[in-house]
């Protein structure tokens, strides 16, 4: 039966590359009223982000920061505060957050240390600055917890969406450098090291297990499925990838997919596994202000379509009636650069 469902999911996975501008208020989208998510990562405040106005036009239900929201790279909290303040003062960003709820995660540069993990000495102080930037109330229990992981549930007349925001920094074991220098990093041995740490794993298990949402969005700053490129990825901890796949399958949670960033490229990855109830999509959207323009290709057995190595943001349209998600890479003026639709 599982095989059949998996086949059905694949058969229903539609993909198209097109270059059209989307009118968010046109009949089709308004009538079905999908839940709209906009997200993106890698945002240098001192560089122009051309998308804030487009995201506002899109009228999303929320904006999700995917990490590297500023490039702080410092353990000096005064410097970090200044950079967050500068981002909060970007006029077009101010316009966006006046209308759209903002949530999200951090990656290494806003965490404070390039490719940093649990070894970053200023992580507790940095967490405070991050929560301030996100407007988390001073009396929130998140202020007492180590790590910035959290979840948000949105209820609409036709269905429910849960966004599970992971922290892939605070507890992550230091990475293993490639002694042959062919890649930057090589995977740890099976069972060695962690991405999430035990407390966050236990929390994630509850979040997925208890969720009655129609769609469950996992936000991971780094890629989960593309694991062979040798940069930062869950693939540097293969047993953690396996654990996540097993957990998603065992949890019974509906409509699970992943949003990731970090890479300064955008791509769709998707995996079929016997333990998964449906195709698992990892939508990487990265490069709000600067992209990996010299990208010359890299292996990713899960890739669907082409890598987009230019500045873009991600849009996800969740249709409760059809039980499908449309994932879109969008450029300036809401031009759709590539899209894929997944049935759940």
Residues of this chain that bind Fe ion (CB under 5 A): 42, 68
First to last CA, the chain: 15
Q: Show Cβ contacts of residue 184 under 8 Å, excluding neighbours closer than 6 positions.
A: 177, 178, 230, 231
- Least spacing, CB of residue 208 vs Fe ion, in Å: 27
CB-wise, 42 or 245, nearer to Fe ion? 42
Length of the chain: 344
Q: Which residue is listed with tokens 């590359």?
A: 17
- Least spacing, CB of residue 43 vs Fe ion, in Å: 8
CB-wise, 42 or 222, nearer to Fe ion? 42
Separation CA 266–CA 313 (nearest Å): 9
- Least spacing, CB of residue 73 vs Fe ion, in Å: 11
CA nearest to 149, candidates 132, 133, 127, 129:
127
Query: Distances from the Cα of 18 to the Cαs of 13, 134, 207, 305, in angstroms?
Result: 16, 34, 36, 12
CB-wise, 42 or 195, nearer to Fe ion? 42
CB-wise, 251 or 286, nearer to Fe ion? 286
- Least spacing, CB of residue 87 vs Fe ion, in Å: 14
- Least spacing, CB of residue 10 vs Fe ion, in Å: 32
Contact 141, 148 (CB under 8 A): no
- Least spacing, CB of residue 40 vs Fe ion, in Å: 11
CB-wise, 42 or 80, nearer to Fe ion? 42
Type and span of the H or E element at 203: helix 198-210
Sign of CA dihedral 210, 216, 220, 223: positive
CB-wise, 70 or 280, nearer to Fe ion? 70
CB-wise, 87 or 251, nearer to Fe ion? 87
- Least spacing, CB of residue 68 vs Fe ion, in Å: 4
Q: Show Cβ contacts of residue 260 under 8 Å, excluding neighbours closer than 6 positions.
A: 66, 219, 220, 221, 222, 223, 224, 282, 283, 284, 285, 286
Q: Report, in this order, helix, strand and coil percent for the chain, each rounded to 5.
A: 30, 25, 45
- Interstrand relation of 335-343 and 14-16 (parallel, antiparallel or unpaired): antiparallel
């Amino acid at each position: 039966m599982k095989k059949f469902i998996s086949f059905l999911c694949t058969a229903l996975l539609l993909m198209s590359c097109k270059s059209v501008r989307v009118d968010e208020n046109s009949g089709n989208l308004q009538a079905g009223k999908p839940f709209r998510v906009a997200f993106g990562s890698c945002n240098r405040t001192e560089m122009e982000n051309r998308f804030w106005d487009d995201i506002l036009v899109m009228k999303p239900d929320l904006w999700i920061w995917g990490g590297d929201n500023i490039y702080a790279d410092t353990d000096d909290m005064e410097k970090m505060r200044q950079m967050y303040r500068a981002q909060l003062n970007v006029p077009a960003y101010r316009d966006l957050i006046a209308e759209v709820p903002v949530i999200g995660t951090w990656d290494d540069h806003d965490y404070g240390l390039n490719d940093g993990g649990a070894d970053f000495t200023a992580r507790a102080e940095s967490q405070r600055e991050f929560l301030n930037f996100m407007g988390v109330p001073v009396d929130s229990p998140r202020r007492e917890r180590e790590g910035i992981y959290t979840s948000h549930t949105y209820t609409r007349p036709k269905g429910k969406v849960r966004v599970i925001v992971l922290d892939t920094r605070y507890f992550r074991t230091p990475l293993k450098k490639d002694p042959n220098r062919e890649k930057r990093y090589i995977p740890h041995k099976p069972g060695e090291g962690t991405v999430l740490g035990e407390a966050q794993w236990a929390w994630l298990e509850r979040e997925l297990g208890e969720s009655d949402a129609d769609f469950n969005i996992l936000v991971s700053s780094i890629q989960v499925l593309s694991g062979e490129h040798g940069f930062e990825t869950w693939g540097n901890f293969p047993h953690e990838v396996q654990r996540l796949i097993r957990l998603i399958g065992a949890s019974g949670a509906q409509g699970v997919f992943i949003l990731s960033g970090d890479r300064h490229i955008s791509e769709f990855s998707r995996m079929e596994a016997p333990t998964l109830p449906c195709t698992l999509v990892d939508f990487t959207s990265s490069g709000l202000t600067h992209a990996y323009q010299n990208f010359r290709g890299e292996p990713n057995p899960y890739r669907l379509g082409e890598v987009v190595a230019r500045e873009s943001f991600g849009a996800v349209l969740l249709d409760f009636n059809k039980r499908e998600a449309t994932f879109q890479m969008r450029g300036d003026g809401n031009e759709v650069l590539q899209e894929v639709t997944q049935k759940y």
